[in-house]
Amino acid sequence: MTGEKKEGKTAEVDDRLTKEELEELEKKVVEYHTAVEKAKAQIGKILIGQHTVVDSVFRAIFANGHVLLEGVPGIAKTLLVRSVSEAMGCSFARIQFTPDLLPSDITGMTSYQKEKGFYIIKGPVFANFILADEINRAPPKVQSALLEAMQEKQVTIGHETLQLPVPFFVLATQNPLEQVGTYPLPEAQVDRFLYKVMVYYPDFDSEIEILNKNMTIHKFEKFNVEPVFSPELITEMQSNTKKIYLSPKIERYIVSIIEATRFPQKYKLKQGHYIEVGASPRGSIAMFISAKANAMLKGRTYVIPDDVKRVAHDVLRHRIILTYEAQAEKVNTEMIIDEILKRVPVP
């Protein structure tokens, strides 16, 4: 293991890669970083602000994970997904979740015609990017149908099992304001999402710009969002993301953060008594691959502690379950995660 000085920190280089393999990876990472900046410029033609959310979505794409978006109506969640899928050169489908939706409305069904016999009609889930709009409006059976597709990357229609397109991403939205007529996602199902991302109101200047660039007065096609990536390039990126080096010290740092959600007293968290249940090992895995994805996003072949900090909120905000006391005293997971990051020693 060797050390080299970069960005004011000592970067440990993975000695499992040959010099030629490392040079090739560095070259690829630079290419990806350049392509991401171009894709952001294309998305910026139509999506104003929301830079933090766009970064989270790109990290999820690199890490091959799904995203749960939460925010009030009218803040461009649908536009975000559509513009990202266009810039990524992928197919897009929107599923509007309603109380009367059936699992077959998502996955598809078997039909019959006398001339051709039984045949399969594929549902909207057969696309690269799926927008599951207001997922908490559908009954649990429908939610499970989509979540099964997310986990297995395949669906069964009749007696036939079909693979979903590669890459396959689900970006689900839920409205935090309305509770009547909704079916909240169980914690075990929410845990299937790599991230939970909060989408907030735009700032003042961004909203002024939105007045002149909105879908009420312009068609989406008018903005000419050009594809920068392709499905094949995305698959290659996901493979190379796994090669990003993450040192044993960073591994221990990740596990310490996760452990602090389970045993807050060990880390002397003042707000630890508000935690009902901490993050599962899936949280550790999510933080591990997400830190690598963030390094890739920043054009690096190695992970630094700042990468872990950057992804911590997206990874943990839906994996820490708080007590009723926390809700009564208006303590949220953001506050808990902030304290954990302050308390856990940085390597």
pTM value?
0.86
Take residue 225 and report the two structure tokens written for it.
Answer: 């969002």
Mean local confidence (pLDDT), 242-255: 95
Report pLDDT for 286: 96
Report pLDDT for 12: 55
Mean local confidence (pLDDT), 228-251: 94
User: What element of type H or E holds 291?
Assistant: helix 281-297
Over residues 112-143, the pLDDT tens digits come to 888 878 888 899 999 999 998 888 888 888 88
Say if residue 10's pLDDT is above 70. no
pLDDT-derived band at 255, boundaries 50, 70, 90? very high
Report pLDDT for 306: 96
Over residues 280-329, the pLDDT tens digits come to 999 999 999 999 999 999 999 999 999 999 999 999 999 999 999 998 99
Distance of CA 134 to the CA centre of its chain: 16
> How far is Cα 68 from Cα 185, in angstroms, rounded to an integer?
11
Q: Which has the higher per-residue pLDDT, 141 or 260?
A: 260
By the 8 A CB rule, do 214 and 309 touch?
no
Residues of the chain with CATH 1.10.8.80: 1-17+243-347
> How far is Cα 112 from Cα 129, in angstroms, rounded to an integer?
29
Mean local confidence (pLDDT), 244-258: 96
Residue position matching structure tokens 């690269």: 128
Quick one: CATH architecture of 1-17+243-347?
Answer: Orthogonal Bundle (1.10)
Nearest CA among 341, 324, 295, 345 for reference residue 55: 295
Report pLDDT for 5: 41
Fill in the amino acid letter for 322: L
pLDDT-derived band at 11, boundaries 50, 70, 90? very low
Nearest CA among 192, 343, 186, 214 for reference residue 271: 343
Say if residue 175's pLDDT is above 80. no
Question: Cβ-count burial of 347 within 10 angstroms (0-12 exposed, 13-18 middle, 19+ buried)?
Answer: middle
Report pLDDT for 115: 82
Report pLDDT for 135: 86
By the 8 A CB rule, do 133 and 175 touch?
no
* Mean pLDDT value across the chain: 86
Residues of the chain with CATH 3.40.50.300: 32-236
Q: Regarding beta strands 67-70 and 195-198, do their DSSP bridges make them parallel or antiparallel, or are they unpaired?
A: parallel
Out of 56-70, 81-95, 151-165, the most confident range is 56-70
Report pLDDT for 222: 73
Question: Cβ-count burial of 24 within 10 angstroms (0-12 exposed, 13-18 middle, 19+ buried)?
Answer: middle
Task: List, in order, residues 6 or more apart from 139 with CB less than 8 Å away.
Answer: 99, 101, 183
Say if residue 272's pLDDT is above 60. yes
Q: Where are the beta strands (DSSP E) in the chain?
A: 2-6, 9-13, 67-70, 92-96, 108-113, 117-122, 129-133, 154-157, 160-163, 169-174, 195-198, 275-277, 321-322
> How far is Cα 76 from Cα 62, in angstroms, rounded to an integer?
22
Q: Which has the higher per-residue pLDDT, 243 or 202?
A: 243
Quick one: CATH architecture of 32-236?
Answer: 3-Layer(aba) Sandwich (3.40)
Percent of the chain exceeding pLDDT 70 equals: 91
> How far is Cα 212 from Cα 305, in angstroms, rounded to an integer?
40
Mean local confidence (pLDDT), 20-39: 91
* CA dihedral for 212, 214, 219, 224, sign (positive or negative): positive
Report pLDDT for 180: 57
Report pLDDT for 9: 42
Say if residue 35's pLDDT is above 60. yes
User: What element of type H or E holds 54?
Assistant: helix 51-63
